[in-house]
Amino acid sequence: MDELAELSIAECKEKMAKVITHAKSEFSILRTGRANPSVVEKLRVSYYGSETPLRQLASFTVPEARLLVITPYDKGSIAAIEKAIQNSDLGINPSSDGQVIRLAFPPLTQERRKEMVKLAKTKAEEARIGIRNIRRSTRHDLEELELPSDDLERVEKELDKTTQDFVAEVDRLFHQKEQELLEI
């Protein structure tokens, strides 16, 4: 197989792997009723006039399944962190003792679980579309290389198999998240 074709396939796999990584991070944000720092660590907090991600302002611990404890590095930022959590769409009220902020995650209702599954399905479809777009772009690049027809056919089969493998991984991640969300 042509070196440029191999390079295109390798680049394609790399881009598709990034889509999978992004999908994993999107799924991790979806709340399952269990305490998980990834739900809040990307929240933007107004800290001394600039929007700062919460993970830069505090550490997180999960002492029990439905409790997340946020320990700010600067105790003066507690009010700003509480405000950011209240303004988010998490639906959780923070409680503070002046040292740490506690978030008690209530169990999800069946209706909320179904909404979360729909959202996860949307995120999975976005990932599949991203993978297919990468395949289309790579196929276009391969056609421009003007390979002999049998080489082009072999490379396209490899590209299709790679695409199927990555789409299957997105499906696996989605089903795993769906099970997690529907678990009571």
Common-topology check for domains 3-29+109-182 and 39-104: no
Helix locations, 68-148, DSSP H: 78-87, 110-144
Average pLDDT in the 7-24 region? 94
Rounded to whole angstroms, the Cα distance separating 81 from 92 reads 13
Show me where the domains of the chain are located.
3-29+109-182, 39-104
* Domain 3-29+109-182 listed as CATH 1.10.132.20: yes
pLDDT of 23 > 90? The answer is yes
In the prediction, which pLDDT does 115 show?
Answer: 85
How do residues 91-110 score in pLDDT, each as one tens digit?
A: 788 888 888 999 888 777 88
> Could you give the dihedral angle defined by the CA atoms of residues 84, 89, 90 and 91, in that order, rounded to the nearest 10 degrees?
100
* Domain 39-104 listed as CATH 2.60.120.1440: no
pLDDT of 184 > 70? The answer is no
How do residues 44-94 score in pLDDT, each as one tens digit?
A: 888 888 888 888 889 999 888 888 899 999 888 898 999 888 888 777 888
CA neighbor of 51 nearest in space, from 83, 19, 25: 83
Six token digits for residue 127: 């990932």
